[in-house]
Each structure stands twice: as structure tokens, then as C-alpha cells.
Amino acid sequence: MQLAERPNLALAKRLRDLRMRHWPDLRVTQQQLAEALGGERTLSESLISSWESTRNPVLPPSTRLRAIATFFATRRSLADGRARLLEDHELTDEELTLRNELHEELLLLRYPDRLGPSADDRPPTSAAPPPTGSWHFRDQANVSIICARLPEALRDKIPYADPTDPDYVRAYSYADLDALIELHGHIRAVNPAAQVNIRLADALVEDDYTAHVVLLGGVDWNQVTRDILRRLHLPIRQVWSSQEERLYDGAFEVGEVGEPVKLRALVDTVGDQRVLREDVGHFFRAINPYNAQRTLTLCNGMFGRGTYGAVRALTDARFRDRNEEYVAERFADKPSFSILFRVVVPPSGEALTPDWTIAGNRLFEWPDA
């Protein structure tokens, strides 16, 4: 494969060259660069190394490219023997010019199909997400997003959910519709050559199981989620009471079966109404047990907003880069991993995107190390 076809390799070599040779008389260590880029939350040397790897390079988040360019725009980044990033107002005009030139060069290596950075010098993070991250599948193979069918008792309450209605809307058959709309659009955007199919859990064909499988929703309605979790023997179990009077007694159980820790959603009583204040979301990634060349991803929660939060963690332009970076560092070289986390629901009722870099948001992680 030619170098022009592998922008990740070209960028990796340039990043290593910057660190090793940008200042001929001064060699920057990976530890120094990690300290400067991480600020108060120091990055690991292994993360810097993964960006520079010529065997299996990892593309750094676009937000890091500006920081790297800033660091190498001035030797003052290593003044007094301490590695740090200078603020824009601390840079001279000459240093700002060099930073902008370096930033543009790195952006062009990361996004070779773009003509250059946007007019305001911001990386492309909002309208069209770059083809990287957990939802980008390099083989561009088929993707099956598998949702639960909304129970009939609930569909009966929705206008236009009846197939005999002239204004019938088929999408009302799907549970977790917010999460489905968000995820389908994102996966389509970062996998332009892949066929992305939306499937109901009770209407699958064999090819749906052997694609890149994405399961939306928990064990209460999605029988495929229920079956997969039973087969994988994870230290995480989702239990849900079917008794109406105990509707909110469901939980994620983690740890040993004999003495599991139960993680529950926070539901308050306001008058005679139950109000969700905080959900528990679950993100799980593994090799597809039905096809070793494909992936399995599970996004679920105790309620729908937990599922939505699991999706938004890696699609929301404000948070996805930092969450991707956390996953890359925390679960490097792990074929399977899980994160259970809080999904805060403010009085407005909207689920807030979880920031996995905040330790208090993470309730349980597997594997431990």
C-alpha cells in the first residue's frame, strides 16, 4: 500500500519527526509531550507512542493536533525544564504564524481529502464527523443496528403506529428511537461505503448476526441483548422486574454472582408521578461471537435515556474526542471492554452526554486493568 493511501502512517511519521528532530539540539521525550498535552490530567506515554507507531498507528483526536502544533511553535514550551502549553496570548506573532502553519500541515495529514482547515482554523468536528473513532469500521462491511420492537401496549397509545392507519409511521415500531436516529446518522457519516441496516430484534435473518452488530436497548425488550449477555458471561448482568408494582427495581449487577453490587437508576417521586433523575448507561465492545472478523457493540441502560447516553458518549461532537481518547488509553489492546456510567437527567428531562474522563461518572469498568 502506498504512503498516500495511509494518512495515519504519514501523520505518525510526522509526529515522531517533530518530537525527535524539530529542534536539532533538543530531543523531546514522549513523557514531556504527554505532560504538556495533558495539563492537570497527564496523558500516558503509551498514548503518545500509539500516535507515532509505524506498525499500527492510532489517529489522535483532532483537538490534540492544535495543541501539538502549539507545543512545537516555541522552545518556551520547555522553559525551566518543565513541559507545558503556552496560551495564545503568550505567543509572539512569529510563534503564532509557525503554530498555524504546523496546525494546517497536521490537519491535512489527518484529513487528506479536505482542502485544508476551516476559515476560523477549527478542526472539523460538528457537521461531518471525521472517519475515525469507535464507530468507524475500517473494512466498511455491513452494519446491523438491532433494536427492540416497542411493546404492543405502548404502540397502541401512539397515533399512526397502527399499520392500517393511512398515516402509519413504521419508525414508531422501534424502541429507543432517539438513540437509533442519533447512531444511524453518525455511523452512516463515518462509514460512507458501508451498508447500515436497521433491524428489529424479532425479525432478523442470519446475515444480520454476522455483520458489525450494534445492539440498542436493554434486556427488558431486546431479546437479542438478553441472549448475547447470557452467552458472553460478563461480570455485568442487567436484571429487570416484570412486576408492575416493582417497575423501578431493575439494576445492573456487577461482580461475583454471590454478592453482586447493584447499580440502579435514580427515580424520585413527585406527587403521584415517578421522575427519572439519573440513569445508568452501559457501553460494551467486543469481537462478534458469530464472526471473528466483525465487532459487537452494546449500548443500553436501565431506561431509554441510559441507552441514549451510551450512544451520545461517542457521537456528541463536544465529548466524543475526549471519550475516545479515554477508551484508547484505558482499554488499549483489550479485545473486549465495558463501561457502566451515570447519565444525568436534569429537570428539563433531556439526557446529558456523559463525560467518561470524570471519574465520578464511571460506575464500573471491565476489565480492571
Lowest mean pLDDT among 58-62, 93-97, 199-203, 261-265: 58-62
Give the span between the Cα atoms of 304 and 190, in whole angstroms: 24
Give the span between the Cα atoms of 156 and 50, in whole angstroms: 52
Question: Measured between alpha carbons, how far apart are the two ends of the chain, in Å?
Answer: 35
Give the span between the Cα atoms of 331 and 49, in whole angstroms: 15
Give the span between the Cα atoms of 72 and 102, in whole angstroms: 8
Going by pLDDT thresholds of 50, 70 and 90, the confidence category of residue 239 is: confident
- Cell numbers of 38, please? 495533558
Tell whether the model's pLDDT for residue 326 goes beyond 50.
Answer: yes
Q: What value does the mean pLDDT take over residues 247-274? A: 82
Q: Of 253, 225, 240, 263, nearest to 342 (Cα)?
A: 263
User: Cell 461505503 maps to which residue?
Assistant: 193
Residues of the chain above pLDDT 90, percent: 48
* Per-residue exposure over 306-343, b if at least 16 CB sit within 10 Å of its own CB, e if not: bbbbbbbbbbbeebbbbbbbbbbebbeeeeebbbbbbb
Tell whether the model's pLDDT for residue 350 goes beyond 60.
Answer: yes
Tell whether the model's pLDDT for residue 56 goes beyond 60.
Answer: yes
Tell whether the model's pLDDT for residue 127 goes beyond 70.
Answer: no
Q: 186 with 264: CB under 8 angstroms?
A: no
The string of pLDDT tens digits covering residues 287-320 is 999 999 999 999 999 999 999 999 999 999 999 9
Tell whether the model's pLDDT for residue 162 goes beyond 90.
Answer: no
pTM for the model stands at: 0.66
Tell whether the model's pLDDT for residue 351 goes beyond 70.
Answer: yes
Q: 149 with 201: CB under 8 angstroms?
A: yes
Tell whether the model's pLDDT for residue 129 goes beyond 90.
Answer: no
Give the span between the Cα atoms of 336 and 330, in whole angstroms: 12
Residue 164: the pLDDT is 85
Lowest mean pLDDT among 104-108, 129-133, 164-168, 304-308: 129-133
Lowest mean pLDDT among 26-35, 111-120, 172-181, 203-212: 111-120
Tell whether the model's pLDDT for residue 256 goes beyond 80.
Answer: no
Tell whether the model's pLDDT for residue 20 goes beyond 50.
Answer: yes
Residue 80: the pLDDT is 79
Give the span between the Cα atoms of 156 and 24, in whole angstroms: 72
Q: What value does the mean pLDDT take over residues 66-80? A: 91
Going by pLDDT thresholds of 50, 70 and 90, the confidence category of residue 93 is: confident
Domain ranges of the chain: 3-110, 143-366
- CA dist 175 → 32, 201, 266, 307, 361 (Å): 48, 10, 21, 10, 25
The angle, 0 to 180 degrees and rounded to 10, between the axes of the packed helices 320-330 and 62-71 is 80
Give the span between the Cα atoms of 131 and 124, in whole angstroms: 11
Q: CB-hemisphere CA count at 13 Å for 66?
A: 12
Mean pLDDT of the chain: 86
Give the span between the Cα atoms of 43 and 37, in whole angstroms: 7
Q: CB-hemisphere CA count at 13 Å for 309?
A: 28
